[in-house]
Amino acid sequence: MDNTRSEIAATAARMVVEEGLEYGPAKRRAVKQLGLPSRTALPENDAIEEAVREYIDLFCGDTQPAELAALRRLALTWMERLAEFRPHLAGAVWHGTATRLSDVYLQLFCDDPKSAEIALIDHGVDYEARTVTGFQGQPVEALSLSVASRELSESIGLHLLIHDHDDLRGALKPDARGRTPRGDLRAVRALVDNPGDEH
């Protein structure tokens, strides 16, 4: 990776950790902050994740493991509540780079795409519905809610991405680095019970 992309990655990583930004917006803001042309080639997400891990090791090593554990316990609670929709944890909370500013991303694999939304309505849960890009590049519905974390003493963004049940087949293919891109209830429970055993 060239120096410019390394600098963008490092700057974006700081924004991800300190402000809770997602990778895409963090990269774009880093380009602007560094005074680079808007068409500057951006680093891949893997490079951002590596820079985030380095930043966490340097500046958050004493607080991040406990924050990550709290977010994983919160995710597990919601996965158990939504078990009928085959929830899978993805993103920074799954990959181990989350801090208290990170949101939780659960991907649900539903027989009926409206069933999860109906379940939230039945339980009186407030949410905001929007359309986002799914892991296969297609538009999917996202139900976003704010949930309290007693352990962290703050509200955490929880995003439920609604996929068809058939999408589950391709959901667990390893990524370019050979890692599982998301984890089911059993995998997340194992991480919560044995925090040192990263996938």
Q: Give pLDDT, residue 1.
A: 63
181 shares a domain with 99: yes
53 shares a domain with 77: no
- Write the CB contacts of 172 (distance below 8 Å, at least 6 apart in sequence): 180, 181, 182
- Return d(Cα 74, Cα 152) in angstroms, integer: 10
104 shares a domain with 38: no
pLDDT in tens, 38-95: 999 999 999 999 999 999 999 999 999 999 999 999 999 999 999 999 999 999 999 9
* Residue whose C-alpha is closest to residue 113's, from 140, 137, 91, 89: 140
Range of the domain at 41: 3-59
Paired with 159 in beta bridges are 105, 144
CATH of the domain at 176: 3.30.460
- Write the CB contacts of 175 (distance below 8 Å, at least 6 apart in sequence): 181
Q: Give pLDDT, residue 197.
A: 65
Is 199 among the domain residues? Answer: no
Backbone phi and psi for residue 66, each to the nearest 5 degrees, phi listed first: -70, -40
Which DSSP category does 154 fall into? E
74 shares a domain with 11: no
* Residue whose C-alpha is closest to residue 55's, from 85, 88, 13: 13
DSSP states along 52-105: HHHHHHHHSTTTHHHHHHHHHHHHHHHHHHTGGG--EEEHHHHHT---TTPPEE
Q: Give pLDDT, residue 129.
A: 96
Positions of the chain with pLDDT lower than 50, given as ranges: none
Number of domains in the chain: 2
Q: Give pLDDT, residue 73.
A: 97
E strand spans, the chain: 88-90, 104-110, 128-133, 139-149, 154-164
Q: Give pLDDT, residue 22.
A: 92
Which of 43, 59, 75 represents a domain boundary (last residue)?
A: 59
Is 188 among the domain residues? Answer: yes
116 shares a domain with 46: no
End-to-end CA gap in the chain = 26
